[in-house]
Structures are given as C-alpha cells and as structure tokens.
Chains A and B, each alone.
Chain A
Amino acid sequence: GIQVEQSPPDLILQEGANSTLRCNFSDSVNNLQWFHQNPWGQLINLFYIPSGTKQNGRLSATTVATERYSLLYISSSQTTDSGVYFCAVERDAGGTSYGKLTFGQGTILTVHP
C-alpha cells in the first residue's frame, strides 16, 4: 500500500514563531487532506489540497503531486495551535480506493507562551 511519512515527528515552538510541516507519500494520489487533532481526539479539517496552494488565515498548504509531497505552513503560532497534525492521502488506484484515506504518523506540535 501507499506509504505516508510526516516530518518532523515533534516540534516545539515559542508563541509567534513560524513552522513548516512536511508530508511525503510514495505513490500517486487523488486526494490529500491536512487535519489538526485536538486533545479530545476530534480531527478538524484544515485543507483539502490534492494539488496547488491554499491559504486560510495563518495557515497555508502546498501540494506538489508530481513530486509526491505536501507542506503545511503555520505562521505566528499560538498556543491553541498545539496538537497533532495529520496528513492523509487517497491513493490513485484507478477507482478501487476512492474514499480510503491513509494517514501519516502525525507531527506533535507544542506551542509555549
């Protein structure tokens, strides 16, 4: 199956700092989503970004599908940004895996005041 690797595994920042999270995947994908998992386990949709660049406030994301990676940028980080960030992809398998997301191991972000 497709492999999804996220880096770094852990990231500790001071409030106000910027950061970049990376997601590499081993095969062609139809879909890529970034999620933030809060302490209660809820997965919050950040970006649906199979290709291109999107921005939402202090967050932005870029996916270069041809080179099999995606980046999540967090600017001016806040303590509320703390949590686990997951990248999830849907492999392009010719119609046999629509809707099946494969997740990376996540990046644990801690933002200190």
Chain B
Amino acid sequence: DAGVTQSPTHLIKTRGQQVTLRCSPKSGHDTVSWYQQALGQGPQFIFQYYEEEERQRGNFPDRFSGHQFPNYSSELNVNALLLGDSALYLCASSAGIVFRVEQYFGPGTRLTVT
C-alpha cells in the first residue's frame, strides 16, 4: 500500500523565481492538503483540495496556488519566491472531507530560497 509521496525531495531556488511541488496521495484517498513548516515551528495549513477544487485556505498570500488532478494528485505553486518561503513543504492526504478522518503525511519537500 503506497503512502503519500512528494517530489522533489530538495529544491534550491532564487528570489523572484517560481516553484512547483508535487504530491500523490495515499491509495484510496481523494483529499490533499498542503502545509508549510518553517524551521523550529509546527506545520501551518496552506490549503486543501477535494474534487479538484480548493476547499479551505489558510493565511497565505495569493502567491501560493494549487491544483488537483483527476487522479487526486496535487501541485503546489509558489510565485515570486521570497527568502521567507524557505521551509519544509508537507503534503497530507485523507479520505473525503467529512469529519473524523485521519490524515497521513508525505516525506516533504525542503525548499531553500537564496
């Protein structure tokens, strides 16, 4: 049973560039959420995708956008990168958007902005 997968593992970008991170959910899951974890902090919710639509959004600027594909995989796009966007980006998947469902996380993509 494949778990949540993310690519790439590491990424180095320059300020002002754009980046795309990818996530494939756990088998049987159809909902994907993205989180940003700065060094020394707990993960913070960016947004959630279900049925190819953004369902919830955290307190992140419009530079952060996403997409979900018919096979439930998802992309996180960040435009006009800032130094402060350097973080571990985590993807989580779950089955549906009803309450009381367990979420499972991928290994993360570590983004460094120079």
Interface residues of A (CB under 8 A from B): 4, 30-31, 33, 35, 40-43, 45, 48, 50, 86, 88, 90, 92, 95-106
Contact stretch, chosen from B16-24, B37-45, B61-69, B74-82: B37-45
| Number of residues from B at the complex interface, CB < 8 A | 30
| A35-B45 contact in complex given A30-B100, A99-B33, C-beta closer than 8 Å | no
The CA of A51 and the CA of B33, in the complex, are separated in Å by 23
Alpha-carbon gap, A43 to B104, bound state (A): 8
List, sorted by A's number, 19 A–B pairs whose CB atoms are closer than 8 Å. Answer: A4-B42, A30-B99, A30-B100, A41-B37, A41-B107, A45-B102, A86-B43, A95-B99, A97-B56, A98-B99, A99-B56, A99-B97, A99-B101, A100-B33, A100-B48, A101-B43, A101-B103, A103-B44, A105-B41
